[in-house]
Amino acid sequence: MKVLITGASGFLGSALLRRITRDSRYMTVAALRRESSNLPDGVEIVRIDDLGVDTDWRDALESIQIVVHTAARVHVMKDSSHNPLAEYRKINVEGTLNLARQAALAKVKRFIFISTIKVNGEATLPGELFTADDPPHPTDAYGISKWETEVGLRQLAVDSDMEYVFIRPPLVYGPGVKANFLSMMRWINRGIPLPLGAIDNKRSLVALDNLVDLIMTCIEHPAAANQTFLAGDGEDLSTTELLRRMGNALDKPARLIPFPVGVLTLIVSLLGKKDVIQRLCGSLQVDISKARELLGWQAPVTVEDGLRMAAVDFVNSSRSKSGNL
């Protein structure tokens, strides 16, 4: 079976590429925007300069049975563009649907789209979990663009023989992780005291290897056709517990101050950072039972192991950078 992976040099795409090339059943085509020296042997490379509405995918789609679309304009914390939704739509909606239409014409069997939990919404009430079949409620430009793409892909499946699979992950962590998760590891590694020792929320995460494993299951499983799945580790953590376990993985115990959440919320809100306090103190839980029941999928990596792999990579990367100074 021949599989096309877009965004093959990215955080998720590169991990998926490493995994899939270990399976002799697959021939893999990697779509890249720039050269990469870290690709596994035996991968066919196709250069794609832009994920746009006019991009020609015909060479990349030749003889392809499965497309795994990980490329996207990712969530930007401080988006300075004049119209963020328009910018997300150019790539995440118009660019993706352009690829999908060409894939359908090329007789691709299945199009696996890596969406986001933001399609469901930004937060859950304590004890209430998002499910794969909940009505969508995206609130930011990134989530809206992913939802609009799902709508377009569903319609394309009606109009063609190509199947879709949507996977909506929450925060993904693992070797090479960036953004907020990387910042938290840096804080703990430096021994910085954090006023986050009394947060009693629940948030779902997904280890990179668990997300890759779910994608691999969806590549061929017949029951995955035209379905939406939520990804997760199967164990939800409070922000406080996550930081403690992260400290254990780094062998640098987290220095957490049990600061009252109400006071913390007020201070951060006064600083105009309500979105930050939601991520730190709010709950966001996902129900992954659909993947378990329909696909027989179980997350192979525990939270401890996932954090350990992220920590080892972080430490090794920090040492490498120090050695190059």
Helix (H, G, I), strand (E, B) or coil at 256: strand
Spatial strand order of the sheet with 27-32 comes to 44-47, 27-32, 2-6, 66-69, 110-114, 163-168, 227-230
The closest alpha carbon to 220, from 165, 278, 178, belongs to 165
Structural contact between residues 261 and 196, judged by C-beta atoms closer than 8 angstroms: no
In angstroms, the CA 249 to CA 310 distance is 8
Length of the chain in terms of residues written: 325
Write the Ramachandran bin of 263: left for phi over 0, alpha for psi from -120 to 50, otherwise beta. alpha
The closest alpha carbon to 134, from 295, 310, 290, 296, belongs to 290
- Extract the tokens encoding 57: 């995918």
The closest alpha carbon to 110, from 208, 231, 32, 217, belongs to 217
How many C-beta neighbours within 10 Å does residue 217 have? 18
Name the β-bridge partners of 5: 30, 68
Residue type, 91: I
By annotation, the residues acting in catalysis are: 142
In angstroms, the CA 257 to CA 198 distance is 8
